[in-house]
Amino acid sequence: MRGYPRYGTAVGFMVLLNALLIFATQATEGVLTDHLLVQLHEDAQDEAHQVATQHGFQSARKVKNVFEQGGFSRQKRGYRNINDIEVNMSDPLFTKQWYLINTGQADGTPGLDLNVAEAWELGYTGKGVTIGIMDDGIDYLHPDLASNYVSTHMSLNVLIFFHSFEGMLINEASVQDFRGLVKNMTPLVLGIRMLDQPFMTDIIEASSISHMPQVIDIYSASWGPTDDGKTVDGPRELTLQAMADGVNKGRGGKGSIYVWASGDGGSYDDCNCDGYASSMWTISINSAINDGRTALYDESCSSTLASTFSNGRKRNPEAGVATTDLYGNCTLRHSGTSAAAPEAAGVFALALEANPNLTWRDMQHLSVLTSKRNQLHDEVHQWRRNGVGLEFNHLFGYGVLDAGGMVKMAKEWKTVPERFHCVAGSIQEPHKFQSGNKLVLAINTEACQGKDNFVRYLEHVQAVVTVNATRRGDININMTSPMGTKSILLSRRPRDDDSKVGFDKWPFMTTHTWGEDPRGTWVLEVGFRGDQPQRGVLKEWTLMLHGTQSAPYIDQIVRDYQSKLAMSKKEELEEELDEAVERSLKSLMSKNN
Ligand SMILES: *[C@@H]1O[C@H](CO)[C@@H](O)[C@H](O)[C@H]1NC(C)=O
Ligand SMILES: *[C@@H]1O[C@H](CO)[C@@H](O)[C@H](O)[C@H]1NC(C)=O
Ligand SMILES: *[C@@H]1O[C@H](CO)[C@@H](O)[C@H](O)[C@H]1NC(C)=O
Ligand SMILES: *[C@@H]1O[C@H](CO)[C@@H](O)[C@H](O)[C@H]1NC(C)=O
Ligand SMILES: *[C@@H]1O[C@H](CO)[C@@H](O)[C@H](O)[C@H]1NC(C)=O
């Protein structure tokens, strides 16, 4: 289409066990795809290659299970027609990039930007960091992007390697070699071309997400299940496994950083129904426009961690995101959370340069602590503070990313303590609810205290819910933590008229209770909103806590308290510890402001 090699049928990653995978044309229920998993006896790789070749297919890799690859839909977020292209390359567009430095251009609010100037002044350009853009390819011939064109201070899009699953396949060694040559430059950007086909398969997603995990530091995704306000969908088995492997083993064990566009479904959708954006393993990014308002396509949900910038409701033609476009052109009008996710990837590259030791969780902690409310305003949801004083908003998460704040904190950062997982409680009996009569359930938990997996300082919290109703879109679910923070887990989705499937063990996620003490009573409220009377049955609520036992963000002094705590004067010291944590949180936040 754009002179790229066509997307082939050979995929090569993520070796699991001893079955061999062949792609063939295969009819599955629903959608046809040309991907098929075939189980063969062990060591049958040669035979498989032979069979595949005879039938004109290419064989690929080993996987664990055998199943047909059903095709499903994954949509690009914020796609704009080529007719929107306005400005060509010879225009110096730096001053149009208000999201980098906002001086009030295009009717914007001065100071409302990613504060990258501060990071640049400190000498960070993202060098040595590699970003993989999982999309439908990169226009690597674009003068801005082609080999060693270096645009001053741009944190993204400088050196491009093009990858396709056939043709110009580059291997990890060649990237490393090349990176050796370009030490002084900005991040390497790789295009992982995976979106340009009618249907997505689990294999393609998994392969993309696990592509060169020791080379690519940050993966950026601006796509997901259709944002039509009625889809509930997420990563399938192989992709989930690939993500888990990525965060556990990628980047030499520090974990791949997955940045996700939170979605463009607007107020009709809820990004907690998108299992990619709501995954704990992704950092999902929403967008603000240049005067601090929400974009009209923004979806809100409790899993969004932070925001960057995009456009969407301003008439000013320069209020969009200025960036490269196809055929050597540029645009001032890129939009959608599609534009927001790569901006975040750029900021994270700066942070990784400041401290390559950062783990995937460190990056989330840094985002929580350094993102700013700035002048963001959401007409629907108030800004609130959670139980440890962190300010958040249901749509923007912890606010807009602040590159300067992030690199400064990253430099001093000590890797957060080990993460633990605790099933805090589960209610499995069916409970009916109906319009005008909401269901209120409580789980009282010690958060696995006294066990190895005690979680004392929260990171993510998941409410795994099975519920069905006469109209799924009218269900709304809130959850309140023992420290009093209410997360809206599910808002009304007026277009979702499902009455059969409901949510089946769906992991609703909240980031809003970050840093809190999870011990005590959690309350779940399930009700209906909408004009018509509805009925429903909640069949399961399982509360999963994820976080650390020892306090993150605190200096040695507080850790010393903890070892004393193990010995004696337990309660007294616990109180002292809590106060110390609160103090260090406060000082971190004030340093950051
Ligand atoms: C993009 O650039 C090409 C050549 O540089 C030009 O011919 C084309 O008209 C441009 N497209 C738009 C939509 O301006
Ligand atoms: C690009 O823009 C410059 C300046 O606006 C103009 O002179 C030139 O003709 C344009 N080139 C193309 C290919 O549109
Ligand atoms: C990263 O870790 C190494 C090894 O533990 C350490 O020597 C180095 O100082 C750390 N770098 C930063 C920026 O924290
Ligand atoms: C929900 O599930 C229950 C039991 O599984 C069933 O009896 C009920 O009809 C379902 N309700 C709806 C609205 O589908
Ligand atoms: C959940 O919270 C929202 C926002 O405060 C509120 O409008 C809604 O009624 C609540 N729903 C339930 C079931 O409590």
Give pLDDT, residue 358.
Answer: 98
* pLDDT over 80 at 366, yes or no: yes
What is d(CA 96, CA 321) in angstroms, rounded to the nearest whole number?
8
Q: Residue 370 phi/psi, 5° resolution? A: -105, -15
Mean pLDDT over 533-559 rounds to: 84
The burial class, CB within 10 Å (0-12 / 13-18 / 19+), for 148 is exposed
Give pLDDT, residue 487.
Answer: 98
How many domains does the structure of the chain reveal? 4
What CATH number is associated with residue 459? 2.60.120.260
| Contact indicator for 261, 255 with CB cutoff of 8 Å | no
Residue owning the nearest CA to atom 14 of ligand 2: 88
* pLDDT over 60 at 34, yes or no: no
Mean pLDDT across the chain, nearest whole number? 79
Nearest atom (ligand 5) to Cα of 527: 13
Give pLDDT, residue 183.
Answer: 45
Answer yes or no: is 68 within a domain.
no
| Contact indicator for 192, 132 with CB cutoff of 8 Å | yes
Identify the weakest region by mean pLDDT among 114-123, 176-185, 189-198, 446-455.
Answer: 176-185
User: In this structure, are 521 and 584 located in the same domain?
Assistant: no
Answer yes or no: is 4 within a domain.
no
User: In this structure, are 154 and 29 located in the same domain?
Assistant: no
pTM for the predicted model, two decimal places = 0.79
Give pLDDT, residue 388.
Answer: 87
What is d(CA 187, CA 169) in angstroms, rounded to the nearest whole number?
20
Q: How far is CA 492 from CA 197, 231, 382, 483, in A?
A: 32, 13, 18, 25
Of 580, 513, 593, 590, the closest CA to residue 552 belongs to 580
Highest mean pLDDT among 26-35, 171-180, 322-331, 523-532: 523-532
Answer yes or no: is 7 within a domain.
no
Ligand 3 in reach of 357 Cβ (< 6 A): yes
Answer yes or no: is 5 within a domain.
no
Domain that holds residue 464: 420-550
User: In this structure, are 357 and 458 located in the same domain?
Assistant: no
Give pLDDT, residue 525.
Answer: 98
Mean pLDDT over 401-416 rounds to: 93
Residue owning the nearest CA to atom 6 of ligand 4: 537
What CATH number is associated with residue 92? 3.40.50.200
Answer yes or no: is 6 within a domain.
no
pLDDT band at 193 (very low <50, low <70, confident <90, very high): confident
Domain boundary among the residues 38, 63, 88 is at: 63
Identify the weakest region by mean pLDDT among 64-68, 150-154, 466-470.
Answer: 150-154
Give pLDDT, residue 311.
Answer: 83
pLDDT band at 564 (very low <50, low <70, confident <90, very high): low
User: In this structure, are 403 and 524 located in the same domain?
Assistant: no
Candidate of 481, 524, 525, 528 to mutate for ligand 5, largest count of ligand atoms within 8 Å of Cβ = 525
* pLDDT over 50 at 104, yes or no: yes
Give pLDDT, residue 475.
Answer: 98
How are beta strands 419-427 and 475-480 bridged, if at all?
Answer: unpaired
* pLDDT over 50 at 27, yes or no: no
* pLDDT over 90 at 198, yes or no: no
Percent of the chain whose predicted confidence (pLDDT) is above 70: 72
Answer yes or no: is 116 within a domain.
yes
380 sits in the region (left: phi over 0; alpha: psi -120 to 50; else beta) called alpha
The 3-state secondary structure of 387-456, one letter per residue: CCCCEEECCCECCECCHHHHHHHHHHCCCCCCEEEEEEEEECCCEEEECCECEEEEEEECCCCCCCCCCC
Mean pLDDT over 206-221 rounds to: 91
User: In this structure, are 18 and 119 located in the same domain?
Assistant: no
User: In this structure, are 544 and 560 located in the same domain?
Assistant: no
How are beta strands 520-528 and 439-445 bridged, if at all?
Answer: antiparallel
Name the H helices within 70-140.
116-121
Nearest atom (ligand 1) to Cα of 82: 13
Mean pLDDT over 64-88 rounds to: 51
User: In this structure, are 250 and 148 located in the same domain?
Assistant: yes
Give pLDDT, residue 36.
Answer: 53
Ligand 5 in reach of 478 Cβ (< 6 A): yes
User: In this structure, are 57 and 98 located in the same domain?
Assistant: no
Give pLDDT, residue 443.
Answer: 98
pLDDT digits (tens, 9 = 90+) for 292-321: 999 888 899 999 999 999 886 777 888 888
For residue 364, the 8-state DSSP code is H
Candidate of 301, 380, 478 to mutate for ligand 5, largest count of ligand atoms within 8 Å of Cβ = 478
Mean pLDDT over 128-150 rounds to: 68
User: In this structure, are 334 and 215 located in the same domain?
Assistant: yes
Mean pLDDT over 194-218 rounds to: 86
More confidently predicted of 411 and 169? 411
> From ligand 5's centre to the CA of 425, what distance in Å?
23
> From ligand 3's centre to the CA of 350, what distance in Å?
16
More confidently predicted of 506 and 35? 506
Q: Which ligand is nearest to the CA of 254?
A: 3
> From ligand 3's centre to the CA of 357, what distance in Å?
6
Domain boundary among the residues 366, 382, 411 is at: 411
Mean pLDDT over 475-492 rounds to: 98
Answer yes or no: is 316 within a domain.
yes
Q: What residues does ligand 1 touch, defined as CB less than 6 Å away?
A: 82, 85, 88, 327-329
Q: What residues does ligand 2 touch, defined as CB less than 6 Å away?
A: 88, 90-91
pLDDT band at 191 (very low <50, low <70, confident <90, very high): confident
> From ligand 2's centre to the CA of 141, what distance in Å?
18
Give pLDDT, residue 415.
Answer: 94
| Contact indicator for 417, 549 with CB cutoff of 8 Å | yes
User: In this structure, are 456 and 358 located in the same domain?
Assistant: no
Q: Can you say how many angstroms the Cα of residue 421 is from the centroid of all Cα atoms in its chain? A: 20
User: In this structure, are 405 and 432 located in the same domain?
Assistant: no
Mean pLDDT over 239-258 rounds to: 98
Six-digit token string for 215: 């080379």
Identify the weakest region by mean pLDDT among 95-109, 404-418, 423-437, 483-497.
Answer: 95-109
Nearest atom (ligand 3) to Cα of 413: 14
User: In this structure, are 37 and 152 located in the same domain?
Assistant: no
Domain boundary among the residues 24, 39, 63 is at: 63
More confidently predicted of 169 and 569? 569
Percent of the chain whose predicted confidence (pLDDT) is above 90: 49
> From ligand 3's centre to the CA of 407, what distance in Å?
15
Answer yes or no: is 1 within a domain.
no
DSSP string for 119-131: HHHTT---TT-EE
